[in-house]
Amino acid sequence: MKIITTIPQLRKTIATMRRKGRSIGFVPTMGALHNGHLSLIRRSKKQSDITVLSIFVNPAQFGPKEDYKKYPRTWPADIQKARRDGVEIVFAPTAHAMYPRGFATWVSMDKSITDTVLCGRSRPGHFHGVATVVAKLLNLVQPDIMYLGQKDAQQCVVLHRMVNDLNIPTRVVVCPTVREKDGLAMSSRNQYLSSAERQEAIALYQALCLGRDLIRNRERHASRICSAMRQHVQKNSRGVIDYLNAVDPATLQSLRKIRGAVLLAGAVRFGNTRLIDNIIVPTYNG
């Protein structure tokens, strides 16, 4: 496994792989690797000749009051996991290499998918940072396929859109959310939770499942589904709800009536830790 920290070194290695006709799968991450990340790596290993894993805690996607400084950094363990899972190249640039002095070019997207819905409302500018760093990484790695996790549903929609809109020649594959035994979505931020918060955090996934069950039982009013999900979190935890919403999976706009597939998505703060989760519910009947 090659560990690369500079852009010239990465470009050289990628050029060599391309000359040899190798297909490249790319898994962008911020490190603190868990089984969710590893599922993306495994998928890439199955479909591509070479798997490139990036580990980069991207300052541009954190708000001024967010956890950039204390975001978990577990480099030795990450490298061990990447090696064990057969990653060929780890790309871990410095913030300075990605954003040198004078950096002035950003990927700016329509706010209706980045800033006015779901996570974007409470994290304005977050997806601007995500889109910019991923555009840069795609230019550097030039992958055939990029692997993303469904856990970050809005990120998947935003990046799909960006790749299409900018005609980036990379296919986006979205992999299912990997969960703990009790259903909690795996996340690097779960390690911030106290044991009491950890127990309560399951209320978020339970609320989404409750919403799904209501839809399966033919409830079609989004407002009723959302209030049932909110009540569940409020009754079963001290979590502070950021949002619990039923939206169109393609546009992320709120739904009034359930018709076709629905994305049930939520963000809840347990103590100081903001967790997100979502499920897609197909509906086949009116």
Structure tokens at 272: 């100081």
CB 174 within 8 A of CB 150: yes
Of residues 30-89, those binding ligand AMP (CB under 6 A) = 30, 36-37, 39-40
β-sheet with 145-149: strand ranges across? 2-4, 89-91, 50-55, 24-29, 145-149, 171-175
Among 37, 126, 128, 232, the active-site one is: 37
> Could you give the 3-state DSSP secondary structure of residue 61?
helix
Applying CB under 6 A, among 78, 85, 88, 152 the residue interacting with ligand AMP is 152
Known active-site residue 96? no
Applying CB under 6 A, among 17, 24, 25, 29 the residue interacting with ligand AMP is 29
Cα separation, 115 vs 128, whole angstroms: 9
Q: Is 89 or 175 the residue whose CB approaches ligand AMP more closely?
A: 175
Smallest distance, ligand AMP to C-beta of residue 150, A: 6
Residues 159-188, one symbol each (x = binds ligand AMP by CB under 6 A, - = not), give: ----------------x-xx------xxxx
Cα separation values, 55 from 21, 78, 82, 127, 155, Å: 25, 9, 10, 18, 17
Smallest distance, ligand AMP to C-beta of residue 137, A: 12
Sign of the CA dihedral running 223, 229, 232, 235: negative
Residues 104-143, one symbol each (x = binds ligand AMP by CB under 6 A, - = not), give: ----------------------------------------
Residues tagged active-site = 37
